[in-house]
Amino acid sequence: MRQIDIRELKLIQIEILDQFDAFCKKNNIHYWLDYGTLLGAVRHGGYIPWDDDIDIGMLREDYSIAEKLFNEQTDRRYKLFTPQNNPDHRYPFGKLVRTDTVLLEYGSEGIRSSVYVDVFPYDNAPDDEHEKQRMFKKRDLLGRIRRLQLPMRDGMTQPKKLMYRLGAALLSGMPQSRVNRMLDKNAKKYENKYNEFVCDFADPYDTRYLTIPRSLFENFIEIEFEGKKYPAPAAYDTWLKAYYGNYMQLPPIEEQKSHHVFEAFYLDSDHNI
């Protein structure tokens, strides 16, 4: 079993992205570089120097088509897993993975998956402000529950560890897959109603109560990322300012570090680790 270093990890992620890009072009499906990946493309021409993943976004209608077709049309080494097409999927949003790798997140007792690219679906946000707040609050509650189902992280204070252990014990009978499906269901509540605003309701790590005009994700340009061209919203400046504020300013040096805790490996012929 050979460990994948950070340079190889990024090459595999770009390889996965290229597979998905080709699939989307073939099927006239829209996606875009998103979050830190879009920011990295604009500010650095590639990865943010201390980042180690790739994020893409899709409107739910395109995400649903990809969810149905990608695994049928693409080399079997690459899969798109979601809560809907894989009951064992450990996340409430999509992951494009390379199946001949394994990635251990939060240690050997944490989440086992493969080297991935995150795929975030953007869903219709209700017009009613109270209903919108209710959906955000449900996302936040389910996100907190989900975090309690993960292994304890380093750096926690003793009181926080005690609260963590108590919460984890109380939630021991609730599978993480159920929480992920609940997050997915909450996000898709207005799936069949075309609304002016959309939101990434499925991301349990996001605590912003931010909705975005759908029109921001209807026109695209190509932008350079690691020497290649990928789709980005034509109004990327508006989107990045809404999400990050002054996104061209570098964060303090102490914040310039990855927020992920994982190790990645190439699978051997027996798929054991």
Q: What is the pLDDT of residues 16-32, one digit of tens each?
A: 999 999 999 999 999 99
Distance from C-alpha of 96 to C-alpha of 57, rounded to nearest angstrom: 12
pLDDT tens figures, 35-86 = 999 999 999 999 999 999 999 999 999 999 999 999 999 989 999 999 989 8
Work out the pLDDT band at 93, boundaries 50, 70, 90: very high
Pairing of strands 55-59, 116-124: parallel
What would the mean pLDDT of 142-153 be, rounded to a whole number?
A: 78
pLDDT band at 271 (very low <50, low <70, confident <90, very high): very low
The tokens for 79 are: 């899969």
Q: Which residues pair with 231 in a beta bridge?
A: 222
Q: In DSSP terms, which residues pair with 208 in a beta bridge?
A: none
Contacts of 186 (CB under 8 A, 6+ apart): 135, 138, 139, 142, 201
pLDDT, tens only, 95-131 = 999 999 999 987 666 688 999 999 999 999 999 999 9
Angle at alpha carbon of residue 121, lines to 233 and 193, rounded to 5°: 95
Nearest 5°: phi and psi at 148?
-70, -20
Where in the chain are the domains? Answer: 2-266
User: Which among 257, 239, 219 has a CA at the least distance from the CA of 39?
Assistant: 239
What is the percentage of the chain residues whose pLDDT exceeds 70?
92
